[in-house]
Amino acid sequence: MMKYVLPICLGAYVLVMFILSSVYHSTIMEPAQFLWAFMLFIAGPVIFVASLILFIRRLLHRPTSPLTLITALLCLVLIPAWTLGFWVIGKACRPIMFSLVITSNTEIAESAIKDHVEGETFTIHGFRYPLCRLGVARAYHKDGILFLTVPSGPGPKDTILFDPEKKRDHTGHRSLGGAWWFSEYKGH
């Protein structure tokens, strides 16, 4: 039973870090943020130190099962990779994950542009970023471009743009696929 604890902990760590970096965009002070902080600052270091101890024990010729040794080696690589590369991995995976829901988001965006007056701020229900619903997203459209506010905490927010006719120069924006773009708030 004990030989399965480390693989389960590593699997949970990688799963939580992947979901929170690539699939789910949580708002500040949401339970997902606390889960991320727990994994990053408590569970990750504990798993890493336990793996290091297991690996050192193996080097000292103590009996270790092959599963435990392989998991310990994976922990020694994956924990630092996710700790140091959380944002980079998320940036690389987010467009791939967003492409899975691009059709339904495009339908929502096209209907929102048709149903609302240009320049008027309104809410969109059912939009996914990338796979989990944002709930209610604030939006407006101008010149055929839909702007959605991504709730990421207090203060200025990041924006997702839907530009089906490519009327805007998207230098500095990250492509989410198709006519979708992500614009990070960079301050003044």
* Each residue's pLDDT tens digit, 114-123: 999 998 999 8
pLDDT of residue 26: 66
Q: Which of 93, 116, 151 is the last residue of a domain?
A: 93
User: Which residues make Cβ contacts (< 8 Å) with residue 151, sequence separation at least 6?
Assistant: 25, 27, 134, 137, 157
pLDDT of residue 188: 44
Q: How confident is the model at residue 106 (pLDDT cuts 50, 70, 90)?
A: very high
pLDDT of residue 152: 55
- Residue 64 above 50 pLDDT? yes
Are 81 and 109 members of one domain?
Answer: no
Q: Which domain holds residue 33?
A: 2-93
Are 51 and 80 members of one domain?
Answer: yes
Q: Is the pTM of this model over 0.85?
A: no
Number of domains in the chain: 2
Are 162 and 81 members of one domain?
Answer: no
Are 72 and 133 members of one domain?
Answer: no
Exposure of 27 in the CB half-sphere (CA atoms within 13 A):
13
Dihedral of the alpha carbons of 6, 10, 11, 13, in degrees to the nearest 10: 140
Are 84 and 155 members of one domain?
Answer: no
**What's the whole-number average pLDDT of the chain?**
85
Inside any domain, residue 188: no
Q: Each residue of 135-172: pLDDT tens digit?
A: 677 899 998 899 988 765 445 567 889 999 988 888 88
Average pLDDT over residues 64-85: 92
Are 125 and 61 members of one domain?
Answer: no
Are 40 and 64 members of one domain?
Answer: yes
Q: What percent of the chain lies above the pLDDT cut of 70?
A: 88
Are 51 and 116 members of one domain?
Answer: no
b/e map 17-51, b = 16+ CB within 10 Å: bbbbbbbbbbeeeeeeeebbeebbeebbeebbeeb
Q: Each residue of 8-43: pLDDT tens digit?
A: 999 999 999 998 888 776 666 778 888 989 999 999
Q: Which of 93, 118, 143 is the last residue of a domain?
A: 93
Are 117 and 47 members of one domain?
Answer: no
Q: Which of 61, 93, 125 is the last residue of a domain?
A: 93
Show the tokens assigned to 37.
Answer: 């902080």
